[in-house]
Amino acid sequence: MRYDGSVSIRGIAVTLLVLVLTTTSARADEPAPTQTDFYTWQIMLVDAAAVGLFVGGFAWGKSADRGYERPLGGALIATAGVGLWLGGPYGVHRVHDHPDAVMSFVARLVLPLGAGAIAGTAIRTCECGEHDEVIALAMLTGAGVAVIYDWVWLARSEVPVPYVAPVSGGNVVGVVTRF
């Protein structure tokens, strides 16, 4: 066999067949690569605003230095703080398309109330006279656990990154992003 500069049809066909078989392998069926996006700081900002409203509502409602109380206004502001603490992180999770966004609301509602109910039933026979303080401490502990759960486990999402995917017609470069 001698090389005379001509290319055979069989050689081209074999080369194209090898290229097609290697580019349309199982790699085309793999999911697009993703990276983890942490947005804990956004949840922390909402929580800080909620705690600020809650504490500010109590401070404004009991203005002892002025000699008078505004219980209704302070209670409304404190209630707005509780509402923001319950629902604000849910909204942040929804903005990030988190599939378990409702778990934020459920954890922030159920854990404090459940801890308070357990503490209340546990000390109901106690004659120590500090029932309210124990229940409040249990509810604060439940709230703290809910916040840590939200910050550490829920405040992350998988976002796609730009990639090159082999397809049957050749390689295609695609940029995937979110608005």
pLDDT confidence of residue 20: 56
Terminus-to-terminus CA distance in the chain, angstroms?
Answer: 61
Is there a domain that residue 169 lies in? no
What total of structural domains would you count in the chain? 1
pLDDT confidence of residue 85: 95
pLDDT confidence of residue 59: 83
Nearest to 104 by CA among 63, 61, 145: 145
- CA torsion angle 63 108 80 38 (round to 10): 110
Is there a domain that residue 175 lies in? no
pLDDT confidence of residue 131: 81
Is there a domain that residue 178 lies in? no
Is there a domain that residue 66 lies in? yes
Contact, 158 vs 37, CB < 8 A? yes
Expressed as residue numbers, the domain containing 156 is 34-160
* CA neighbours closer than 13 Å in the CB half-sphere of residue 175: 2
Residues of the chain falling short of pLDDT 50: 24-26, 28, 179
Is there a domain that residue 19 lies in? no
